[in-house]
Amino acid sequence: MSAGSPPLRFGVGDGRSAWVGRPTVGPRQAAAWSRHQEILTELRAIRGRAYPRVRALFREKSWLLFEILLPFLSTSAFVFVYRALAAPPEYIGFVVLGGAMTAFWLNVIWMMAAQLHWEKDQGNLELYFAAPIDLMSVLFGMAVGGLVMSGSRAAVVLAVATTVYGVTFDVGSWLLLGLVFGLTLAALYGLGMVLASLFLMWGREAWHLTQLLTEPIYFVSGLNFPVGRLGLLGALAISTIPLAVGLDAMRQLSFRGAPSFGTPPPEVEAAILVAMAVGFLAVARIAIRVLEGLARREGRLTLRWR
Amino acid sequence: MSTLSGSRWGAAGPSTLDPERVRGGGLGDALRAYLAAVRLGWATEANWTDPFLFFIYSVAKPVSAALILVVMVEIVGGEAGRAFRGYVVTGSALWSFVIAGISGLAWSVLDDRERYRMLRYLYVSPASFALLLVGRGTARLTVGAMGALITLAVGVVVLGLPLDPGRVDWPLLGVAMVGGLVAIVVIGILMAAVCLQTRQDSWSYPEAVAGSLFLVSGAVFPLAVLPQAVQLVGLATPLTWWLAGVRLALFPDGPSVVGGEGSAWALLSGSTAPTSVDIALALLTTGALATLAAAAVFRWSEHRARERGLIDQTSGS
């Protein structure tokens, strides 16, 4: 440090960094990389955060039993409820589709929303804040890894249940169905990123809120029945919960002629999903910026068990 | 011999440490350890928010689960649907005991090992490890009981479930509830043994197990709907008999969980539906077998966890 430079302190108000002695707001800026280096680092961060989730599929063998076979049996229980009631065959298809989509919702809740809270408990969160990467890359990495995990579970549930229970899909437009599926995942994981930030700020309540966001969300999203049957509650769910609107659109596209109970056509629901995906990602970005600021300014986000 | 060297466990000669006091082992010590674990479990479960929010949290899950089934029944409609509504509400209400009981025990392992990192200290405490887990799980079971009662109340008051206290078979209800709760705790111990061996991501495992038992135990539809081979699996599960006992005690005229025309029970026993005595005996037998199996698996898992250093491991993905 030259004789004329001001003294360096952590967390100084004038934006000067203790790391390199020039005005920066965090490690990313302090690194002073080229655009190319920044992009490469962010991509590596995404890959690095996705890696343990993908590898976990092969390392934890119990996952096959508990995350694939048993959830299939759970879905089957609802199939037999409809069979006991002698319901029309498309209702069995509703259950199978809903059972496949629960894999993504559970992944969003357990492994996205609650994840930053757990990272804090484990002491990893402060490392994320100290690393020269964008926290959004960490969240994207978690989402990519989670998609691989939950996608395999959903595929198995869908394939096995379709075969075992003889579900016949009557798809009007595969292109639109694929688009709606992709948009649903984008909106779901965008919501997961928002919740991850909120749960981190809420602290210990986050754990219990994770519990609260399963069955009640299944109910208002119409997991095993057309959500339009819930009337106003269903309409509210369609306008706020990606699982509800995505499931309803996919049902309408997969089972032509099945009752929809007055919900919007799939094209409109696809537009709702686009708005949700963009909105959630934007809110997540803002929330992450706020969090980073809090973490650096007050330091309380890296304190465990709060 | 110095005082220090004489303080080894089991060493002869004068000692500053009385092994008998450290080991405990009496009924009074066990009860104190259990009650301390229950208090700890309740504090962990309940002190994160105000009582009103805690109440909402406790009942939202089971009530929503019941409502999903009620809408499924209503949407198909018809006379069969109306008769079926009481069946699914009762099954769904009782199932909150199962979810809470199984996950309570399994999560106490994951909570204390991965989140609070206290499992190693609990493990080396003089109290029995299994007893501490049961104590921790009791708190969640109490939360499950709240959910079950509220769901049943919603069923009776809002959905018109025909519950007549004058016709309830109280002795059968008592036997079924005691046997059923023991069976739930036993399955919870089994899951705790599994979670001792797995990573932190096994938070969802207890619910997955409960979900699969949901299929084979006749919780929301009579077993007779299932293929014969699956019905036999259901008949070997104590939860099936618990549900059958509680249903028969509360709603004597309701559909049988295990019986019915062409059911595996009818083929095996020659009777259309089991009596109260059949149900009590079957619950005791299957519960005893499940207890033996859980005890063996837990001992093996505990031994393996000690050998491999899993008691204080933390993991993540």
What is the model's pLDDT at position A211? 75
Do residue B317 and residue A52 have CB atoms under 8 angstroms apart?
yes
Q: Please say whether the beta carbons of B30 and B127 come within 8 A.
A: yes
Interval A93-121: pLDDT, tens: 999 999 999 989 988 888 888 888 878 87
**Chain B residues with CB inside 8 Å of A71's CB?**
208, 211
How many angstroms away from the CA of A102 is the closest CA of chain B? 12
Query: What is the count of structural domains for chain B?
Result: 1
Do residue A124 and residue B316 have CB atoms under 8 angstroms apart?
yes
Residue A81: closest CA among chain B residues belongs to which residue? Answer: B221
d(CA A112, CA B99) in angstroms, rounded, equals 23
Residue B200, domain member (yes or no): yes
Do residue B215 and residue A73 have CB atoms under 8 angstroms apart?
yes
What is the model's pLDDT at position A12? 46
A169 secondary structure, DSSP code? -
Do residue B316 and residue A73 have CB atoms under 8 angstroms apart?
no
State the ipTM, two decimals.
0.81
d(CA B173, CA B171) in angstroms, rounded, equals 5
Q: Please say whether the beta carbons of B140 and B41 come within 8 A.
A: yes
When CB atoms are compared, the residue of A81, A111, A145 closest to B69 is: A81
Interval A164-199: pLDDT, tens: 999 989 998 999 999 999 999 999 999 998 988 887
d(CA A280, CA A213) in angstroms, rounded, equals 17
What band does A40 get if pLDDT is binned at 50, 70 and 90? very high
When CB atoms are compared, the residue of A110, A208, A214 closest to B48 is: A208
Instruction: Give the 3-state secondary structure of residue B98.
Output: helix
d(CA A136, CA A92) in angstroms, rounded, equals 39
d(CA A19, CA A93) in angstroms, rounded, equals 58
Residue B226: closest CA among chain A residues belongs to which residue? Answer: A80
Residue partners of A6: CB distance under 8 A and separation at least 6 = A16
Residue B17, domain member (yes or no): no
Q: Please say whether the beta carbons of A165 and A92 come within 8 A.
A: yes
When CB atoms are compared, the residue of A55, A78, A122 closest to B314 is: A122
Distances (CA, A) of B229 to B57, B131, B309: 38, 36, 40
Tell me if chain B has a CB within 8 Å of the CB of A174.
no
When CB atoms are compared, the residue of A70, A84, A219 closest to B208 is: A70
One-letter identity of residue A108: V
For A210, the token pair is 């994770």
**Is 70 exceeded by the pLDDT of residue B14?**
no
What band does A286 get if pLDDT is binned at 50, 70 and 90? very high
Residue B105, domain member (yes or no): yes
What is the model's pLDDT at position A288? 84
Do residue A70 and residue B209 have CB atoms under 8 angstroms apart?
yes
If you search the block for the tokens 């609260």, which residue do you land on? A212
Residue A55: closest CA among chain B residues belongs to which residue? Answer: B317
What band does A3 get if pLDDT is binned at 50, 70 and 90? very low
Residue B233, domain member (yes or no): yes
Q: Which domain holds residue B202?
A: 24-308
CA torsion sign for B194, B199, B202, B203 is positive
